[in-house]
């Protein structure tokens, strides 16, 4: 089965017999060529039609467990390419941990500290009254809202992390 792929002003009809046509069409929306690695990663991200939050490491692990040999560097580079064309969003937590979100609409997130899980938060309940003045010559490109969560302490011994004791 052939599919028409539009990249810029070019239209190419190509056959991808073993690959997910939805992933190929999704890549075409971003103007990206459907390389083997891009299609594999796109299938993992959007193949079932559900939105998800993934890390490069989790996507690398899932892809390789399924027999798709892609390097971690390729996963990172591919995710960044998807971000640059607006197919996904990068959400940074703790300044160094990146999650990639297939829901590109403006919405806040809950980040569960204990499990390092990022999930969508209800956007209709979020109110941002004002933002600080930006420096001259700058403009706001986006505002990411990440609300960090942890389980409430119930006062039980299991709520507290045991401390190492020094040997006397």
pLDDT tens-digit map of 145-167? 999 999 887 766 555 443 444 44
Residue 14: its pLDDT value, please?
53
Which is more confident, 1 or 58? Answer: 58
Q: Residue 59: CA atoms inside 13 Å, Cβ hemisphere, count? A: 30
| Strands laid side by side in the 53-54 sheet | 53-54, 97-101, 89-93
pLDDT tens-digit map of 126-140? 999 999 999 999 999
Nearest one of 86, 19, 49, 81 to 3, comparing CA atoms: 19
**Residues in the chain, overall count:** 168
pLDDT tens-digit map of 30-71? 999 999 999 999 999 998 889 999 999 999 999 888 888 899
Confidence of residue 142 (pLDDT cuts 50, 70, 90): confident
- Provide the whole-model pTM: 0.76
């Amino acid at each position: 089965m052939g599919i028409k792929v539009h990249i810029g002003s070019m239209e190419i009809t190509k056959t991808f017999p073993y690959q997910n046509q939805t992933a190929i069409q999704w890549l075409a929306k971003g103007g990206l060529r459907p390389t083997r690695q891009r299609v594999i990663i796109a299938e993992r991200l959007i193949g079932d039609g559900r939105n998800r939050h993934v890390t490069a490491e989790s996507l690398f692990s899932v892809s390789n467990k399924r027999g798709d040999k892609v390097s971690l560097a390729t996963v990172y580079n591919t995710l960044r390419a998807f971000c640059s064309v607006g197919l996904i969003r990068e959400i940074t937590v703790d300044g160094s941990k990146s999650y990639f979100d297939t829901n590109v609409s403006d919405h806040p997130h809950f980040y569960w500290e204990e499990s390092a899980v990022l999930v969508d938060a209800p956007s209709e309940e979020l109110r941002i009254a004002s933002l600080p003045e930006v420096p001259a010559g700058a403009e706001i490109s986006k505002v990411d809202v990440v609300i960090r969560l942890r389980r409430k302490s119930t006062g039980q011994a299991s709520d507290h992390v045991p401390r190492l004791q020094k040997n006397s």
